[in-house]
Amino acid sequence: MPAKHFSNEQLADTFNLIADLLEIKGEVIYKVLAYRKAAESLAELNQDAYDIWQAGKLTDIPGVGKAIAEKIDELFSTGKLGFMEKLTAEMPVSLAEMLQVPDLGPKKIGLFWKELGITSISELETAARAGKLRTLPGMGEKSEARILAGIEAYKRRSERIPIGQAYPFAQRLIASLRQAPGVVTVEMAGSLRRGRITVGDIDILAAATDSTAIMDRFLSDREVVRVEGKGDTKSSVEYAHGLRAQLWVHPPERFGTAWQYATGSKEHNVRLRELALKQNLSLSEHALTRPDGSEILCATEDEVYAALGLPFIPPELREDRGEIQAALLGKLPKLIELQDIQSELHAHTTWSDGHLSIQELAEAARDRGRKLIVVSDHSASLAITGGLTAQDVQKQRQEIQHAQKSLGDSIVILQGIEVEVRADGSLDFPDEVLAELDIVTASVHTSLRQPRQQITERMLKAIQNPHVDIIGHPTGRMLPNREGADLDLEAVMKAALENQVALEINAHPARLDLDDVNARHFAEMGGLLTINTDAHSASDLDLMHFGVTVARRGWVEASSVINTWKIPKLLEWLKRKHPHF
């Protein structure tokens, strides 16, 4: 029997930590990338790695070769990893935590550790405030000031969990709990259901006539490491990877009020209770109560809102941003839905840093119901991605044509580019090359810490290029560790509107950029949005729902999102800058 069960997330965290430490140490990059690739594959697995290990098929996992399979086997067999123990005896684990400081990379961390013996963020801050960093190679007063600013940004972060980590785990829990005897339904609630980009913990609600079976199943999950509370109607647990969850069980006839209450937000619920009081009713998680004590029981949320004279308010809108007033006036938006998405306009192949060939990407998109896919690999100046040169464009066009012929009319394949916006605002490709492409996405990946005016002007210059159709992940943020550029988004939006450029909501949970507030503002200005997964693998195409959730939180309707349009309409829109269509 194995000494310990490790979840996919724990295995991924282990190999990411190894990669971080090796990179800080200065190990050759191919070793670092091997661990990162294995970690990525493990995190994306839709099957438990433990079960794959038991079947003796670890090397069937993409990115897991013999050496890493042996390490996974050692972990499952002994509960330990000798390689990790040796590595952490050589260098402190706390060095990896320093990577969470915005704009602080492994080379700098290695420099500070080797030259000054700095092993923690607190030691780094002390040294920076004492002016000890500026004298090191490649450093100076400005670099030192940027590190202090990054540390302050790191301190502002809470311990909330990114939605990309919490959501799939919650889905796994809910699927398991729905199998318990006597359960009518199990649903997520709280900030996770509302689609916040981070959550404090996972709230789960169940409707059941008897709570015993579902509570037992909840408490006995193999990843539970601590039971924080146990009761007939509510229990709380902590899991091995640090996530916490709470389960409430309610009678089916009271589930609607309970679910509405547990979904929140607190501010939305306060407004709803105020509305109830105006109608001489009291609203709680159990029922709506009349002055004589009699109750209006609601088995569904629709019944709760209807009892108060309101249409159903989607959970993504429940943030007290005017949704109740809009509902009273009959002016709630018809929010975009996942099924509205027709096309994927930003995806990568093996021509840059993607994992799929053009045909494999197109087939994966088609299998997910997409009618059109844009091959938008990186341009060459983003060296780490191995992107396209201007000379590669025609070669890639030939491969696209071959894939299109092979797939027939089952999906349309367009040739695009994610062209890098250089530090001075110029684009990586000359205009004559951009004009030949079907669609151009311009993105900023480097020099994100330029002063506000400089980086805004850089973005405006890209928007004003006559061939740019989309600005990809506009602020460049990476969740949770890298803040976005200090852009004047109002100026960016006005320029995008004037130049008929769409702004992207990047659906990858590590980005979710543009955010909901700015997406709402741009749509209300009359601007066009696009929601894309920035896919680098087939499984990335399944992340679209995260971007749609951001749009829904931003009150966005399908008509404002160009990749919900029917293909002829989208192609007609592209003609304005690419007349070869």
Given this model, what pLDDT does residue 1 score? 43
Domain finish residue from 128, 156, 184:
156
Assess whether 360 and 385 both reside in one domain.
Answer: yes
Assess whether 150 and 200 both reside in one domain.
Answer: no
What number is the average pLDDT over the span 426-436? 93
Burial of 368 (0-12, 13-18, 19+ CB in 10 A): middle
Assess whether 397 and 541 both reside in one domain.
Answer: yes
Reading the block at residue 306, the tokens are 């209807």
Q: What is the CATH number of the domain that holds 178?
A: 3.30.460.10
Look up the domain containing 290 and give its range.
Answer: 256-328
Assess whether 395 and 461 both reside in one domain.
Answer: yes
Assess whether 264 and 352 both reside in one domain.
Answer: no
Domain membership flag for residue 176? yes
Residue closest to 249 by CA, chosen among 285, 283, 284, 214: 214
pLDDT (tens digit per residue) in 497-533: 999 999 999 999 999 999 999 999 999 999 999 999 9
Assess whether 408 and 517 both reside in one domain.
Answer: yes
Assess whether 216 and 348 both reside in one domain.
Answer: no
Assess whether 200 and 85 both reside in one domain.
Answer: no
Q: Helix (H, G, I), strand (E, B), or coil: what is residue 220?
A: coil
Taking the C-alpha atoms of residue 362 and residue 346, their distance in angstroms, rounded to an integer, is: 12
Q: What percent of the chain has a predicted confidence (pLDDT) above 70? A: 97
Domain finish residue from 156, 190, 217:
156
Assess whether 561 and 453 both reside in one domain.
Answer: yes
Reading the block at residue 42, the tokens are 């493990």
Assess whether 360 and 463 both reside in one domain.
Answer: yes
Assess whether 531 and 389 both reside in one domain.
Answer: yes
- Cβ pair 92, 103 in contact under 8 A: no
Reading the block at residue 89, the tokens are 């005896």
Domain finish residue from 189, 217, 250:
250
What number is the average pLDDT over the span 432-449? 93
Domain membership flag for residue 488? yes
pLDDT (tens digit per residue) in 289-336: 999 999 999 999 999 999 999 999 999 999 999 999 999 999 999 999
Task: Read off the pTM.
Answer: 0.79
Taking the C-alpha atoms of residue 326 and residue 240, their distance in angstroms, rounded to an integer, is: 43
Assess whether 424 and 543 both reside in one domain.
Answer: yes
Whether residue 20 is predicted with pLDDT greater than 60 in this model: the reply is: yes
pLDDT (tens digit per residue) in 182-204: 999 999 999 999 999 999 899 99
Reading the block at residue 151, the tokens are 């540390």
Q: What is the CATH number of the domain that holds 111?
A: 1.10.150.110
Question: Residue type at 273?
Answer: R
Domain membership flag for residue 2? no
